[in-house]
Structure 1
Amino acid sequence: MPKLTIDKVTISYEVYGTGKPVVLLHGGAVDFNYNYVQTGWVQTLTENGFQVIGINFRGYGKSDKSNDPNFYGTTNFSNDVIHLIKHLDFNNVCLIGYSMGTLIAFDLLNKHPEYFSKAVLMATGDGLIGIPPYILENLLPGFARVFSYDSFPSHLPKHISAYWNFLNEVGLDRESMIAMSLGKYSTLTAENAAEIKIPTLIISGEMDLVLGKGQKVAQALPNGEYLEIKGANHFELVTEKKAHKSTIKFLNKN
């Protein structure tokens, strides 16, 4: 697994296939392998002519970890992605984000649009532009409490307690994930979204209780499109065939 060192922080990443580069940004309590390899996304993309670049954010996989919340946050995650793209000498890159990864993707599209040609944001919602109740900036500190339990928190709603299971299934470091949840994650505005000209597809699950739906985000984007998959929740959306097929169709569209 290749690695890149940025200001003394080592970031691990994976590259699959050949073709047009697409960078994949994983969710908040899973790594690249769990989010995209095991769910068939790498296979879907490589079989359709894309080269997949999967980053493990700091705190995940074989990337460096810290118990300091200042080690994490939108700015640090975004900068790591840009350094990786420069390191690989890519431009005109497609971008895919899932859940927390959509927050980072949205920041990248706003601040570094010159690197990207298209984007797909999945399992996200209108909280990306500050519309309550699912504003990730406000929700993440609650996940720190979930991660702090020594045993499965069965008293919590299932869509929240599921994150405790992910932590253990993926093998993430508990203290690092608590610190990650307490990092700084600023929310962009509808005005910011209106400045993003990059064609972007928002894919939401009808039954997403974690981040809701993103129709208003799509409407705020000058070149935004919206797809809602009936019956899918925040976690099932990643394996929905319609999400896979719609992403390929969108990325290949002229």
Structure 2
Amino acid sequence: MKSFTSFDGVEIRYRQWNSRAKGVPVILQHGYIANARVNWILPGIVFRLTITGHRVIALDARGHGRSDRPHDTASYGESRMAQDISCLIDELGLEEVDLVGYSMGATVALLAAAEDKRIRRLIIGGIGAHTLSLGGSHHGQVKKKLAAALLATNRRSIKHPALLAFRLFADFMRADRNAMAAQALAFHSKKIPFERITNPTLIIAGRNDPLAIHPEKLQAALPDAQLCITPGNHTTALMSLRFKSALVKFLG
């Protein structure tokens, strides 16, 4: 993996395929606790993009994978990860990119598209109507409970099934749980400026994904968005043939 130093000194790792391919490069941003390998390589998404002639770049978000893992909350949040994407575009000297984000990475992608005009097309997956309610007062308690679950000494003390699922996934990934807790506390909780995201956008949601409920409401909030419903839940939707086919078709 290659690396670059982002705007605040955090080292970000990334991989690249088909670096000499013509056309607009595709940047892939994974979800929370995952990494580029788990979300993009293993499900075959990188393979599908490269065999159709795309230049592909996939980064490990700060705190994830092989990127730096600071433990202070001030180093995290999707807004900072969006800045990392802009720094990566600078690092590679790209004039225009297509950006794909999943779950946490979808929020990152939306924030990046609102600020960086070098992003041409946008594909977001694994999120739904809850993204419209960011900025509400209830998010603070949710973030604290998730951070506590990630840092709990004994997993048996975690009673809420969703919180336990995040903790089990972190343990399975051998993630830095202190870094994951810091990101949990820094999860984006301000209103996203959807009106500024004029990019042609594709929303992909798994039919049984509890984190992507009512994606049609998210579609309605974006000026130029299409919606694709795929088989699967939050994890398996990435593996579906429909996900890959929709991705490739939209990118052209």
Partner Cα distance (1:137, 1:25) in 2: 24
Report the alpha carbon displacement of residue 217 of structure 1 after superposing the two structures with TM: 1.3
Is the alpha carbon distance of 1:132 and 1:84 closer, same or farther for their aligned partners in structure 2, counting shifts above 3 Å? closer
Is the alpha carbon distance of 1:139 and 1:27 closer, same or farther for their aligned partners in structure 2, counting shifts above 3 Å? farther
Is the alpha carbon distance of 1:13 and 1:131 closer, same or farther for their aligned partners in structure 2, counting shifts above 3 Å? closer
Report the alpha carbon displacement of residue 152 of structure 1 after superposing the two structures with TM: 4.1
- Corresponding residue of 1:236: 236
| Deviation readout 1:102-150 (Å, 9 max, x if unpaired) | 11101011111x11111110111112222799x9777544321331234
| Deviation readout 1:189-238 (Å, 9 max, x if unpaired) | 5xx223321000011122221342321111121210111224x2111111
Is the alpha carbon distance of 1:247 and 1:22 closer, same or farther for their aligned partners in structure 2, counting shifts above 3 Å? same
Note the 1:141-180 alignment, pairs <5 A. Answer: 141-153=144-156, 155-157=159-161, 159-180=162-183
Partner Cα distance (2:85, 2:226) in 1: 24
Q: Secondary structure at the match of 2:85?
A: helix
- Contact in 2 for aligned 1:125/1:213 (Cα 8 Å): yes
Is the alpha carbon distance of 1:108 and 1:132 closer, same or farther for their aligned partners in structure 2, counting shifts above 3 Å? closer
Gaps of 5+ in 2: none
- Contact in 1 for aligned 2:208/2:233 (Cα 8 Å): yes
With 89-98 and 192-201 compared, the bigger mean Cα shift is at 192-201
Q: Secondary structure at the match of 2:123?
A: strand
Q: Secondary structure at the match of 2:25?
A: strand
- The alignment status of 1:247 with 2:232, answered yes or no, reads no
- Contact in 2 for aligned 1:143/1:178 (Cα 8 Å): yes
Q: State, as a whole percentage, how many aligned pairs show the same letter.
A: 27
Which amino acid counterpart does residue 109 of structure 1 have in structure 2? Answer: A
- Corresponding residue of 2:31: 27
Q: Secondary structure at the match of 2:204?
A: strand
Q: Secondary structure at the match of 1:182?
A: helix
Q: Secondary structure at the match of 1:96?
A: strand
For normalisation by structure 2, the TM-score amounts to: 0.89
Q: Secondary structure at the match of 2:55?
A: strand
Partner Cα distance (2:32, 2:58) in 1: 14
With 177-186 and 139-148 compared, the bigger mean Cα shift is at 139-148
- The alignment status of 1:181 with 2:184, answered yes or no, reads yes
- The alignment status of 1:215 with 2:216, answered yes or no, reads yes
- Contact in 1 for aligned 2:17/2:57 (Cα 8 Å): yes
Is the alpha carbon distance of 1:155 and 1:240 closer, same or farther for their aligned partners in structure 2, counting shifts above 3 Å? same
- Corresponding residue of 2:205: 204
Partner Cα distance (2:38, 2:187) in 1: 24
Q: Secondary structure at the match of 1:172?
A: coil
Q: Secondary structure at the match of 1:49?
A: coil
